[in-house]
Amino acid sequence: MKRTGEIILTVIGLIFSVLSVIGSIILASIIKSDFVVENFTEGFNEGLAEEGMEGAMDASSFLNIVAGLGWFLTFISIVGIVIGIIAIIFFKDNKRPKAAGIILIIGSIVILLATFGAGFFTFVVYLIAGIMALVRKPPQSELDVEESVLTE
């Protein structure tokens, strides 16, 4: 049986994961640029001063947290790419579709929770592909149909 639907959905999930890797690398890189650091620090300190919370948090510490989050999202997106590649290998020639489905479902949940919802599109596509892989039954061959008719 062909698993074209599952493979297409998994490739779409791979594309979302690749876009997430690119976006999170860009985010982490931009945050470290001098222009962003200078302008953000100035605005951040002014905002804290207006709220009467001067010195509550350092702007560079906040930027480091956001940059770290960007690298964490990159890592999780790479995990999503690996999950998609493994699932496609399992779907090819209908080798192990049940294993691919389980990998996609577990991977989609991990991606959604680890990215705090940022990997929603990858989650949805991988989840649908995983469910399709587990639910779809192979077509009965003509021999099976004849045997079931004869036994009735």
**Domain extents for the chain?**
4-135
The pLDDT of residue 93: 83
pLDDT digits over 65-111, tens only? 888 888 899 999 999 999 999 999 999 888 888 999 999 999 999 99
Residue 116 has pLDDT above 80, yes or no: yes
Question: Based on C-alpha coordinates, what's the Rg of the chain?
Answer: 23
Query: pTM (2 decimals)?
Result: 0.78
How far is it, in rounded angstroms, from Cα 151 to Cα 55?
A: 82
Would you say 3 and 91 are in contact if contact means Cβ atoms under 8 Å apart?
A: yes
